[in-house]
Structure 1
Amino acid sequence: MKFILALFTLLLSSHVLAVEEFPVENFFKDPQMLNPQLSPDGNYLAVLVPLNINEETERVCKQRTKKLIETLKKQGYGDVSNNPELLKQLKKRFIRSEEGVHFCDLSRRNIIVIWLDDPNLDCQQGNYGRCERVRVTQLRSQNVSDFFWANNDRIIFETGGDQLNGITGYADTLGIYAVNKDGSKDKQLVKPEDADGNVVQLNLLKDDPDHILVMRNDRKRYLYDVYKMNVFTGKFFRQLSPPGPVIAWGADHEGVIRFAAMQDENSLSYETQIIYRENEDSEWREVDRFEGLQNGWGQLGFTKNNKKIYITSNLGRDTYSIGLFDPETGDIEDLFENEGTD
């Protein structure tokens, strides 16, 4: 009996210690669905999906890859076909068109809009792959890098941050565009030569569906101003003069800018100053201040009654939690935290 128990324990331990191996390529592939966002009315879901360019590109990729393997073998590199990671690096280095397009990168991230109210039974049971959907962008030479809903019908999106045009990195924005949820009325709002910096959605204007409030850092990389942007023409209208070097803004549910975070220019310890006002006619006042680049809190949005602010904070802890900030008292009420993780 002891022998059988020991053997069972050994087998169980070996099973627990066994680790399933996954191909390295799995960690570098685009996810099948990225950045899902509900429309303001909750009836539609927009997502980024990697879509193949076309079959011709795939055929060219296979032909060039085969020729590359044969050429490297002749030059004494051996057979690299059994080393997918090395082959991937060699493709990046050698397989390019004159325009710099990488033929073996077959997919581009485009926006798909899914109709959640589709009466299809599978759709209503949560199988969104069975819901009616529309591909609203047709990008082949670059990716959609980010997007957001401007109203129930229109989506704003940015392109860039890929290697197709010889650039990489977060700040490589190649323009700002808009399109309706059915793929119609596509429009370039900001031309590439004018797309210096980032545009971040602040607030939808419920009484003005043609405009939204955005933050834009077109003057300095890390300093943001508030604009009203026309979602059909792309025109920007500056809304207020910043009270200092603002790095983040916050608007209540009425579209009134009432929150701002500033980097204190006179501080040697990278202090962040939080300022607040009761309404658009009130004076700004400081409600909090904290030191360091890695410590502090940021706003998520105002409560329904516009009295308090939901925040994420890592003050006094190693991970971020969700809390509720009271600008009248400066107190933070912890709402949720997950020990050990953000």
Structure 2
Amino acid sequence: MNAMSKKVYALTLSMAMSIALIQPAVQAAEAVKPTATVAESIASKATQTLQQLGYIDGTTDGMKESQTPITRAQAAIILQRVLQLDAPASLTGFTDVLAKDEAAPAIYALKQSGLIQGQAKGYAPDAPLTRAQMASLFTRAFELKDNGIQVVYSDMEQIPKVHMEDAIRLKQHFIIEGSAFNAKNSVTHGDFADALYLALGLDVQSEGLTPLEDFFKQPAQAGFQMSPDGKHLAHMEPWNNRMNIVVKENGQDKSVRITSETERSIAAFVWATNDKLLYVKDEAGDENYHIYVTDIDGKNSKDLTPYPNTRAILVDSLENIPDEILVGMNKRDPRIFDVYRINIKTGEAVLAAENPGNITGWLTDHEGKIRVAVSSDGNVSSLMYRESEDKPFENLMTTKLGETFAPVMFTYDNKNIYAVSNLDRDKTAIVEYSPSSKKVTKTIYQNKDADVSSFVPSKEKGTILAAVYETDKVNYEYFDNDFKKLMQDLQAKVPGKEVSISNMVEEGQVLFAAYSDKSMGTYYFYDSKTGKLDKLADAAPWINESKMSDVKPITYKSRDGLTLHGYLTLPQGAEASQLPLVVVPHGGPWARDSWGFNPEIQFLASRGYAVLQVNFRGSTGYGKEFLAAGNKEWGKAMQDDLTDGVNWLVEEGTVDPKRVAIYGGSYGGYAALAGLAFTPEVYAAGISYVGPSNLFTLLDSLPPYWESERNMFYERMGDPEKDKELLTAVSPLFHIDQMKAPLFVVQGANDPRVKQAESDQIVEALRKRGVDVPYMLKANEGHGFGNVENQLDLYRAIEKFLNRHLMQQ
């Protein structure tokens, strides 16, 4: 939905496919265990840090003898200190632990806290602590939870059942590594110190560090929208760890939460009328979104699309027909979307337009009449038009792959069409098109450097106020002096920030957000007639902007001469010399990275990493030639663009070539796998997050509603039959023998785009080679994790993984 309009427009499926695969570590068989350098580094830091904290003293706990087994009593002494447990008044319970024994207070403190059980007849304090016993001690002491990492030990059957889950927890939390657990082996003092150091998270802690949770906790308040009459504001905020909708009267402090979702956050909402709201959510990440309606007070909530295995898309909220909306649904045929007129009071759904099988997008006029349709076979698209709903559609124009003519909205007299078009040019422009003459009557705005992506319409003035395009940042080309002055006034009131308008009403009231690369955003309400500015909320008031890093636009040349754009983020206050680097390729790949606050990027920078984001060839926003330069270049030139960025930073002296990792989601996950497989000398570690490993199986398992775009995938990626050799050559699954660096794989079980099998198969293949691969699989997630508890599990694991393989060198 265009934020400036009260009307909701459907994107054509071909436009939606531009973000098709978005969002938003492997070791060789002979190197299953950490290298000696890494292990020695951890051991040295562990002992030193634990001594500084007063957790070990080397006398009562025997820690001076690092190679000797630690006893159960000595382990208890250390844990009592670490956990600061008070000893019970009565030191009794074990026949072999007397009150006078040096370790008695510690042993009974642990027993009182439920950290040890033991037999009443004896604790065996002088017996060596086994790895299985340490696993149970640590799991209880540090409350290690199941984080979804799938753990397989080669000696699983030898682990006592009572210790099995605890042995799994140690590996899930990167406290131990290796394929074998060796449950009965004694733990040395040095091993205990190393494990304790990691269990406490001391490897990833430093003074003044912004807590990981601060980057990834849910926004305090977000997504403010004004009701059509401007009298009420709605926004989302957390409730029971899920984002729900809250409504308040404009100008008042008292608010009412009107939804109570507990399983899945609401994905988005929009005002339907002045007293009703629509919202969408899916189940466990399956992306079969349902549309719900609720009253402004939370009453009379209803699922308007209660059909199984069906995806619903809002086509038009029908602002002039208060009780009806138009919704696209694929309930008749999972491959295509028919349009239904739904009464939001009764829930009655009536077929408004049946899809003949090739329509990928619909557009209504300002009276809610369906008058434009876009058909496509993936390569060839046609613009279909009719004067009225009682007439048949006629073909106005046909475009081929790479050509864009995307109708966005009708002119306010309902005669012509505003569209985003790159016909007869490289970069997309905003044009006005006449269906009667079948010609573009006006080019409203084009830019020589970037695609023009959208525009700001005004129903009140019946015209377009500004065009929007993105270079390093979002830019506006103004056509209306009043709107230009308004934007200048807003920017002057929030110096140093960018402005994004959410709503405007005729009376001059404006709802907007101010944001930057260091701020998630602040929401404001502005009365342009009085000049009064009211702050509504900070999205993340706990973020200290002074500790965040600058996200700097960069350009460099690829090896074949293309100019590549992207962003480089360096750790705040760090010297730009010999830094560890994380390359973060975006998903899509037919999408782009943008400037602004990105919690992942700021988190990585806060942990001491330089972060490189590249709009490699095949990214959108830079014209059709640049997009087409990525055709059939997965794992080849697209991957070279990333490698060239790394090499550029190495040559500049900014980056340490031995400490480079690659991490991405979706296509970015593929790029991580490809980086480790095809340029193993470049990367010290990799993380694939919902990334495809085999392009044949990826293409074979596209969601049914992408079937009309299959030819486009074949042209841009490769045809499984005609380009079999190419797809084999660039599928990482078939080249695991070339992988040398540690790999971490992350997947959602309900992912409809990159199926679980994509991650399963590469993990299985590597494990067959004896490679130990951490694999996080979440049963209640899809293409990217939506639930905050799963996100926190993911980023805690990423923090540990990257620290081990980039910082402990």
The TM-score with structure 1 as length reference comes to 0.61
Q: 1:214 aligns with which of 308, 311, 327?
A: 327
Is 1:109 the counterpart of 2:224? The answer is no
1:291 counterpart residue number = 400
Counterpart Cα distance in 1 of 2:232 and 2:328: 25
Counterpart Cα distance in 2 of 1:281 and 1:241: 13
SS at match of 1:152: coil
Is 1:338 the counterpart of 2:469? The answer is yes
Q: 1:143 aligns with which of 248, 256, 265?
A: 265
Distance 1:324 1:44, change over 3 A: farther
Counterpart Cα distance in 2 of 1:138 and 1:45: 18
2:343 counterpart residue number = 230
Distance 1:203 1:276, change over 3 A: farther
Counterpart Cα distance in 2 of 1:333 and 1:205: 28
> Deviation digits for residues 211-242 of structure 1, max 9, x if unmatched?
22222222344522111101123221002333
1:274 deviates by 0.8
Give the counterpart letter for 2:245 in structure 1: I
Counterpart Cα distance in 2 of 1:308 and 1:221: 32
- Does the CA contact (< 8 Å) of 2:338 and 2:355 recur in 1? yes
1:9 counterpart residue number = none
Give the counterpart letter for 1:338 in structure 2: Y
1:309 counterpart residue number = 417
Counterpart Cα distance in 2 of 1:309 and 1:203: 19
Distance 1:326 1:221, change over 3 A: farther
Distance 1:291 1:197, change over 3 A: same
Counterpart Cα distance in 2 of 1:239 and 1:35: 31
Counterpart Cα distance in 2 of 1:224 and 1:310: 23
- Does the CA contact (< 8 Å) of 1:199 and 1:217 recur in 2? no
1:43 counterpart residue number = 231
Is 1:189 the counterpart of 2:304? The answer is yes
Is 1:179 the counterpart of 2:294? The answer is yes
Distance 1:29 1:272, change over 3 A: farther
1:39 deviates by 2.7
> Deviation digits for residues 169-224 of structure 1, max 9, x if unmatched?
5x243x44221112222223343x53511231324162x42222222222344522
SS at match of 2:304: strand
Counterpart Cα distance in 1 of 2:219 and 2:405: 30
Counterpart Cα distance in 2 of 1:217 and 1:210: 22
> Deviation digits for residues 102-122 of structure 1, max 9, x if unmatched?
xxxxx2111122433x3x5xx
2:275 counterpart residue number = 153
Counterpart Cα distance in 2 of 1:212 and 1:158: 14
- Does the CA contact (< 8 Å) of 1:176 and 1:195 recur in 2? no
Question: For 1:1-342, what aligned pairs fall within 5 Å after superposition?
Answer: 25=213, 28-51=216-239, 53=240, 107-116=241-250, 118=251, 131-160=253-282, 167-169=284-286, 171-173=287-289, 175-191=290-306, 194=308, 196-204=310-318, 206=320, 208-242=321-355, 244-264=357-377, 270-292=379-401, 295-313=403-421, 315=423, 316-317=425-426, 321-328=429-436, 329-331=438-440, 333-335=443-445, 336-338=467-469, 340=471
Give the counterpart letter for 1:177 in structure 2: Y
Counterpart Cα distance in 1 of 2:249 and 2:309: 31
- Does the CA contact (< 8 Å) of 2:406 and 2:419 recur in 1? yes
Q: Which has the higher helix share?
A: 2
Give the counterpart letter for 1:255 in structure 2: G
- Does the CA contact (< 8 Å) of 2:317 and 2:326 recur in 1? yes
1:27 deviates by 5.0
Give the counterpart letter for 1:306 in structure 2: N
Counterpart Cα distance in 1 of 2:400 and 2:220: 40
- CA-based RMSD of the aligned residues comes to 3.0
SS at match of 1:282: coil
Counterpart Cα distance in 2 of 1:180 and 1:276: 36
- Does the CA contact (< 8 Å) of 1:112 and 1:134 recur in 2? yes
Count matched residues: 242
Which consecutive unaligned segments of at least 5 residues does structure 2 have? 1-208, 446-466, 475-620, 622-809
SS at match of 2:331: strand
Q: Which has the higher strand share?
A: 1
- Does the CA contact (< 8 Å) of 2:418 and 2:433 recur in 1? yes
- Does the CA contact (< 8 Å) of 1:288 and 1:330 recur in 2? no
Counterpart Cα distance in 1 of 2:259 and 2:282: 14
Give the counterpart letter for 1:246 in structure 2: I
Counterpart Cα distance in 1 of 2:405 and 2:219: 30
- Does the CA contact (< 8 Å) of 1:145 and 1:158 recur in 2? yes
Give the counterpart letter for 2:231 in structure 1: N
1:155 deviates by 1.4
SS at match of 1:223: coil
The TM-score with structure 2 as length reference comes to 0.28
Counterpart Cα distance in 1 of 2:422 and 2:217: 32
- Does the CA contact (< 8 Å) of 2:288 and 2:312 recur in 1? no
Q: Could you say which structure has the larger radius of gyration?
A: 2
1:93 counterpart residue number = none
Distance 1:337 1:231, change over 3 A: closer
1:32 deviates by 3.9
Give the counterpart letter for 1:297 in structure 2: F
